[in-house]
Amino acid sequence: MAAWFSRGPTGSLQEQRAEMVEKQIRRRGISVEAVLSALRAVPRHLFVPERNRQEAYGDHALPIGFGQTISQPYIVALMTAAAEPGPGVKVLEIGTGSGYQAAVLAACGCEVYSIERIPQLHEDAMAAIVEAGYGHKVYLRHGDGSRGWPEEAPFDRIVLTAAADEVPPALIEQLDPDGFIVAPLGSPDLQTIYRIRTGDEGLEYEALEGARFVPLIADDSAD
């Protein structure tokens, strides 16, 4: 644990999370209490590299290495609320990254399956999720997220935390007919977060908000 945390009481971290939720999340219109409670509960600082932990509750994304980031808290809240989480909801997350989004979904009661293509991030996320207390609700795999996790399909929700031009076909095939996908789609510089359902005439897209994510990369070398 970084030295700056040892100078004050544990309550100071709880206060930082509470302030984050009130100022960064609720004031921007996200009012789903299960999501707000999860963000107050999950220790975000555990998912941030020690060199950046003083900024863990700031209103911005942070680097986690390998060209990847932990998303701004508001974006995590938006994606989580869009997924309509709850007890027993089975979620496939593409792009574990730091593991924070998976932990927040687990804190909402979801059963989370998450895939990360970068081995070190996969290992770091696993350690952080266990330390945060959500290891019993999150299942991790190192691999190519664009292929999904067919052995565990179907999924009630699929959440992409990396940007793509379109949703990979394998993920659509692994979605429960009554489920939906939350994904940022668009150009490398700017995407729109969509909630995507399967309809009688194909995919139906509901635009939610603009965002910037790192790209989804298919990796044939991943196991």
Q: pLDDT tens digits for 31-66?
A: 999 999 999 999 999 999 999 999 999 999 999 999
> Does the structure show a pLDDT above 70 at 10?
no
Q: Catalytic pick from 6, 12, 71, 114? A: 71
Query: Tens digit of pLDDT for each residue in 64-98?
Result: 999 999 999 999 999 999 999 999 999 999 999 99
pLDDT > 70 fraction of the chain, expressed in percent and rounded = 93
Residue count of the chain: 223
- Tokens read off for 48: 């941030």
- Tokens read off for 149: 């996790």
Q: Give the per-residue pLDDT at 9.
A: 38
Percentage helix, strand, coil for the chain under 3-state DSSP, each rounded to 5 = 40, 30, 35
Confidence of residue 199 (pLDDT cuts 50, 70, 90): confident
Decide if 12 is catalytic: no
Delineate the domains of the chain, giving CATH numbers in brackets.
8-211 (3.40.50.150)
**Spatial distance between the Cα atoms of 111 and 139, rounded to a whole number of angstroms:** 8
Contact between 86 and 154 (Cβ < 8 Å): no
Distances (CA, A) of 72 to 55, 185, 203, 213, 215: 11, 18, 28, 10, 16
Collect contacts of 171-177 with beta carbons under 8 A, ≥24 apart. 171/92, 171/94, 171/146, 172/198, 172/203, 173/148, 174/92, 174/148, 174/149, 174/150, 176/90
pLDDT > 90 fraction of the chain, expressed in percent and rounded = 87
